[in-house]
Structure 1
Amino acid sequence: MSLNQRVGQHIKHLRMKAGIKSQAMLAELCGWKSQSRVGNYEAGSRTVSPSDAEILAKVLGVDPAEIIFGYPQSNKRSDISEDEAVLNISGFEFWDSDTPLSDDEVEIPFYMEVELAAGHGISDVREYRGPKLRFAKSTLRKSSVESTRAACVRVNGNSMEPVLPNGSTVGVDTSQTNVIDGKMYAINHDGMMRIKTLYKLPGGGLRLRSFNTDEWPDERYEGDDLKQIKIIGKVFWYSVLL
């Protein structure tokens, strides 16, 4: 069963639970002219937009998360599918692998677990076959990012808090490896992926800075020590899970 079909089941269940006997009645309460929108949603033949999910939730008296996931956002579940996990992280349109791309959408690889040692990692995003996140082409154009050179990765640890809490997702432009002081970059540090703000030092060295400076003081790398570090790309977007 696709995510759209599961969402359709949630809407129908919540509609009946609220005592709204027909799709036409729900459509009217939502301010929609046609019953077909609710019918398509319940049938799973149409993807529910975030704005429509909020309208449905308000009419049905539930948390918007119940429309999509079938449970309130405050509840914790351990059986979330891969499609739902990607959806929960992205914060964009509600979709799954069966939903076709629109004319203004592209998919970008999402590396949920990144291993950089032994040459693996996100340097070649063209051959990726795992989970992906969807971005509007217009969004990428504003940041001058080519979709074929972009990837998303998950942030681990607390070194970039409070800006990037553990579990945040960042978009990385792998074509941008020249350091601009104070910008965030993904780096391969001796086989470990790290997200840091970078600063150039005289003589070609680098200073790595974390936002959580109380626990993570600045790091300086010069000379031979600099060989441990390879810049993967510049961070152009991030999504935060609170």
Structure 2
Amino acid sequence: MTSFDEVFERIKLSTHTRTQVELADVLDIRQSSISDAKRRNSVPSDWYMKLFEKFGLNPDWLKKGIGPMYLRTEQGYEPLEGPVAGRVFEDSAKFGDPDARNAVVTIHSMQCENGENGERLLKGVGKLSIPQSFAGTHIQVLRVETSGMEPLIHKGAYVGLDSSQKNILSGEIYGVFVPYEGISLKRLFLDAANSRFVMRSENQSHPEQYLPVDKRAESIMGRVAWVLQTL
């Protein structure tokens, strides 16, 4: 199920608003209505209609981040991708192939914040447009902030962590929460004799670390599904 925060971020992106006050003005509603929707974790259906009528925004893109961002432009009903700047629309594109469609996702820092109930919260630090086939409800996008996986994964690269893939397969790369460090990318290997996993970096200057088997559920954030970087 798509969360309120995900839809809210796409609405702000497409309407060029930054605060609840600005968005309330765009939607012609009270700011308290936005707070109520956030508390219920549900976007009212009439918001989608208002955004379509006012900006031509595609409800499916707002809800799920898939398909063209716009269904209607000043030139008529023609699917378009990308935010509007000064109401100048780009040429239309073909949207049949999932790799030709984009999804705007949140980039997260590798540093975690602690929630009210002790859960680990990822901190959003920006936005990234990626192929639709790279996005998904279980994908969390991180910006790599260390050199631990160089030369395989460069510092500054973007990685997609699949949070549904937490069962460890030896030799695969995972995002692992390390106390005092945040999320680290590590290649994991089972050391059954010592009831632990060996965590290795590609960078040989980084020492091996160890993860007790009984700590894996709370420490593994997901398996690395893809990497975007310049060579």
The TM-score with structure 1 as length reference comes to 0.47
Indicate the structure whose relative CO is greater, using CA pairs within 8 Å and at least 6 residues apart.
1
Relative to its length, the structure with more helix (as a share) is 1
Greater radius of gyration (CA): 1
The TM-score with structure 2 as length reference comes to 0.49
